Structure 1
């Protein structure tokens, strides 16, 4: 008989919050500032406020669903369990789009960082070097703990705090608005609702990661704290994004000073603190982005492996482990190959494409609350109607509103991806004559199935959790 091992319950509320913040990468607010400032006509903090309201509503719905389904913390699982396997598959397929592209975004940001420091070096050098390094580390597996993640988050917050202090000195010297006591970063004569919503679709990318907290249910000291941790992560992350973007918008009322709008972090560091601070700022952002890249690369490669083991993807290629490394080398290399495309596209387009899948997932999490609690369980008292119908309806409508304001090219690309998913579903089900397997479960009743069901395999999983899964495979 195979001995089954469960994950150690060692994470408190703040450890889980730190993991969520670490995956969100708080410095991304500076990366996308130029893009969003141009889109919103100079009211980036307002776009973050709109996105925060949407994310809070969705975070509340995630909290409800993680209690109902504590062993399957992902949007596609919630949709499958409440609305059927076929719709669940399509929600999962849409989510897979942003899972696959998240590692490429990290490669793209690293490329821009290095390009700003070494403008005469070919971007191919940085992209290939980064992708090869991250792919190799994932092939050999790695170890990480929540303590290391906590250190990374604290360091990032210290950097942002240092930026705020330096910005205050710059205001005293007359830079930008010359004062913090101004409403111009929030509203101005050029502000338009459509522009703010479009900007909010881009900054929604900054929040991706809070939903990954659902996967830590198995490692939480008390599972009842997970919904609280989800909401805390969104609120703290939103506060960081708002304050940082407010200071930055007050320093740079327009984008005329920036040479590269695709990623303004290097220039922001230079203008606010000089070359020394720019290097420190870049080093901190580089480290945070690299860590996020490792986690996202590892997560999506394991997710693809799970889908291969389950037969949703071809088993012979996706469902195999390397005999020596005991890691899903094919899916790791495939993820690396996708990341190589970071040479070409701009950050705005890729962030919008990622949000296409993420916002679909968020919408269906809200709808799942309505179906599960209000329709199936008939919780229709006055309190139940507010919690299980009105609140998630507002969440679904708001995420849907952001989704409708996505970048046009991203919208087209996302719809093409959905069409491919529908065709693929028809193929594997033989036009619905065959049962559709689960995207987050493995067929055989083994320790592999038990381990890979866990949430740590969804995007944003801890590297420690991934390694525990690898170790269980090796042992059994």
Structure 2
């Protein structure tokens, strides 16, 4: 039983973990680049991202109920499509989300102490890795506090902006970017919806997973979509499309434009808390996928150890924390949204393909096809640098898999 985790999370805990990942730094950072891409079609792009996320969530929940084990789509792809596809999903998730962890840590530093953002980022990684080491229930309690604080800040932003009476400038000529811009904006916004994967990657630690996961995933996704829509409308109401697109701190600028500049520091603290919540959820999800891949020998088997007292994959968590700390200390990964989105879209494309094989039910297969198609389209619409880098990283993973296979066959 050394490598087995304990089931302690209920529906509300799972929802909070998912919200901690979704209602995180994305709501403070993703709106501006998405507005630059989509222009006046920003809300439509948000709807497209939410629709693709729903399809992915539906497929992931069905799979998680069938395979309630740590690892998420790594496990689903392995069981439904074969070992290679499971490995590819796990590779895309671990690499992309490790970069996202570093980006979230740097976001904390950028908001709290811009001149020392790398030092603050490393401290945040160390603190949250220690918190996750204490057990998943402790992590869920911390996530609950962070989510409550962030939702309070976002509610304040929405109320201040919509009640201010300030009207932002309307769309200017050329603010529409066409269908491609809409899809690119949706691809960037998808980054913010991907947090529900944390619920499925924690499948081995959820009580009654056949009921809990299918309930928790849509609840968390629905709340996140409503929050994002309300915040987007509020920011657009006072900044307008072009003002939002130009902003580097859109929600802080929004409360300033609404006549409440004194709230900007509160919003910045909220952004830092949101990034901390995302980082905590990411460390949980990545470490569980590392655990699953280590069990199967795709990563060093020592990483599959589970702490006897805390019931967490402690070596996997420490390894993930160490890598993220190095990246946070040495790199500037604020532009990692596109790269992370590419990896996660590949991950969910494999999830939808896996869900298609579950049964012949029309609804399940239709949602899986829609989700798979949406993932492919949004991945192709991302900025070229993100798509090229993501493809190169996937190619490296395929090469590693092939070399390992040849070495094994030669033994």
Matches within 5 A, 1:451-470: none
| Matches of 1:138 and 1:9, distance apart in 2 | 14
Q: Which residue of 2 aligns with 1:69?
A: 67
- Give the one of 185, 192, 200 matched to 2:178: 192
Q: Which residue of 1 aligns with 2:16?
A: 18
Distance change (3 Å), C-alpha of 1:49 and 1:371: same
- Give the one of 144, 150, 154 matched to 1:156: 150
> Residues 329-378 of structure 1, C-alpha deviation per residue, up to 9 Å, x if partnerless?
4443123112334x434x3x3011111111011111111122232xxxxx
1:7 and 2:6 equivalent? yes
Contact 1:113 1:266 in 2 (8 A): no
| Matches of 1:313 and 1:5, distance apart in 2 | 17
Contact 2:339 2:387 in 1 (8 A): yes
1:423 and 2:409 equivalent? no
- Give the one of 229, 239, 250 matched to 1:242: 229
Distance change (3 Å), C-alpha of 1:136 and 1:151: closer
TM-score, structure 1 as length reference? 0.75
| Matches of 1:333 and 1:189, distance apart in 2 | 43
Q: Which residue of 2 aligns with 1:395?
A: 371
Q: Which residue of 2 aligns with 1:336?
A: 325
- Give the one of 168, 177, 186 matched to 2:162: 168
Distance change (3 Å), C-alpha of 1:159 and 1:123: closer
1:82 and 2:80 equivalent? yes
Contact 2:198 2:282 in 1 (8 A): no
Contact 1:300 1:335 in 2 (8 A): no
Larger Rg: 1
Q: Which residue of 1 aligns with 2:274?
A: 288
| Matches of 1:124 and 1:30, distance apart in 2 | 19
TM-score, structure 2 as length reference? 0.85
1:228 and 2:215 equivalent? yes
Q: Which residue of 1 aligns with 2:93?
A: 95
For residue 168 of structure 1, report the CA deviation from its aligned partner.
Answer: 2.1
3-state secondary structure, aligned to 2:373: helix
For residue 264 of structure 1, report the CA deviation from its aligned partner.
Answer: 3.0
- Structure 1: any 5+ residue segments left out of the alignment? 374-378, 436-476
Contact 1:10 1:221 in 2 (8 A): no
Q: Which residue of 1 aligns with 2:54?
A: 56
> Residues 160-195 of structure 1, C-alpha deviation per residue, up to 9 Å, x if partnerless?
11111111232x1x3415xxxx9x69x996241110
For residue 412 of structure 1, report the CA deviation from its aligned partner.
Answer: 1.0
Matches within 5 A, 1:118-133: 121=115, 123-131=117-125, 133=127
Distance change (3 Å), C-alpha of 1:97 and 1:83: same
Contact 1:94 1:357 in 2 (8 A): yes
For residue 291 of structure 1, report the CA deviation from its aligned partner.
Answer: 3.1
Q: Would you say how many aligned residue pairs link Structure 1 and Structure 2? A: 406
